[in-house]
Amino acid sequence: MKEKIVRWVKANPHCLALLYFVVYVIWFFGLEFFREPVYWITCPLDAYIPFNEYFVIPYGLWFPYFLGALAFFMLKEKTLFLKLCFVMFTGMTICLLIYTIWPNAIDLRQEITRDNLFSQIVALLRTVDTSTNVCPSIHVASTVAVHWAICRYNGFRKPLLTKGISFLLAVGICASTVFLKQHSIVDVFWGVVLTAALILVLLLWERKGRILPKAAPQHLNRG
């Protein structure tokens, strides 16, 4: 079994990009435990958004959406996988740098008064997902990156249906961050802007031929 895995990795070295998560997890939780927030994020619009525990459903769907997309593109479309990794991992790194230099948090969480299964899940979520390191929102930035990659992929049997479902899910995930009071509107805005900017950079690089340069003409390769 071990030998099969080693052979598969050697045949698919692009999968090693996922080792970034080792760095990410250490850095993120290091900030969670050792970095106190200094700046508090707030926006008047946040007061008009009611808490709704049912949004924990799309919030939780972020995990299979995010991880499933990475696994799918890693197996199906190497080039798009690497582009997604560039946008997503660069965005995460920028977020972590901001959290390190400009530690921030929100103070929007209200007491949960309703007693149902979804409220209990939210209460549990709050014990493991603190209100620190929120702007820009990694949850939102990575969601936008995944939806962009899905829209770029041309191999779906029912592309309109698949991309439509992805769009609705992405909107639901982003909305859930504010309806659960996990993030401010400000965090969501900058999460979207960050990923949009990185996609623009990627497209400009592609246009200039810096990402995947064309092979040199055969006559130039002759000795």
Q: For 75-114, what is each residue's pLDDT tens digit?
A: 999 999 999 999 999 999 999 999 999 999 999 988 888 8
Residue 125 CA to residue 129 CA, distance in Å, equals 6
pLDDT of residue 19: 93
pLDDT of residue 32: 84
Is 125 domain-assigned? Answer: yes
pLDDT of residue 217: 46
Ramachandran assignment for 102, one of left (phi > 0), alpha (psi -120 to 50 degrees), beta (any other): beta
- Please tell me whether the peptide bond between 136 and the residue prior to it is cis, using omega within 30 degrees of 0: yes
Over residues 2-36, the pLDDT tens digits come to 788 888 888 888 988 999 999 999 999 999 888 78
Is 216 domain-assigned? Answer: no
pLDDT at 71 over 60: yes
Over residues 203-213, the pLDDT tens digits come to 998 888 765 54
Q: Which of 91, 89, 79 is nearest to 14 (CA)?
A: 79
pLDDT at 222 over 60: no
**Mean pLDDT over residues 136-155, rounded?**
96
Is 23 domain-assigned? Answer: no
pLDDT of residue 127: 87
pLDDT of residue 37: 79
- Residue 216 pLDDT level (bands cut at 50, 70, 90): very low
Is 215 domain-assigned? Answer: no
- Torsional sign, CA 115, 119, 121, 123: negative
Range of the structural domain that residue 113 is part of:
53-208
Is 21 domain-assigned? Answer: no
pLDDT at 215 over 90: no
Residue 57 CA to residue 176 CA, distance in Å, equals 8
- Which residues fall within 8 angstroms of residue 201, CB to CB, at 6 or more apart? none
Is 198 domain-assigned? Answer: yes
pLDDT of residue 35: 76
Is 14 domain-assigned? Answer: no
Higher-scoring residue by pLDDT: 218, 9: 9
- Helix/strand/coil (H, E, C) string of the chain? CHHHHHHHHHHCHHHHHHHHHHHHHHHHHHHHHHCCCCEEECCHHHHHCCCCHHHHHHHHHHHHHHHHHHHHHHHHCHHHHHHHHHHHHHHHHHHHHHHHHCCEEECCCCCCCCCCHHHHHHHHHHHHCCCECCCCCHHHHHHHHHHHHHHHCCCCCCHHHHHHHHHHHHHHHHHHHHHCCCCCHHHHHHHHHHHHHHHHHHHHHHHCCCCCCCCCCHHHCCC
Higher-scoring residue by pLDDT: 209, 179: 179
Is 40 domain-assigned? Answer: no
pLDDT of residue 36: 82
pLDDT of residue 221: 42
pLDDT averaged over every residue in the chain: 90
pTM: 0.88
**What's the number of domains the chain is made of?**
1
Residue 183 CA to residue 178 CA, distance in Å, equals 5
- Residue 223 pLDDT level (bands cut at 50, 70, 90): very low
**Mean pLDDT over residues 118-143, rounded?**
93
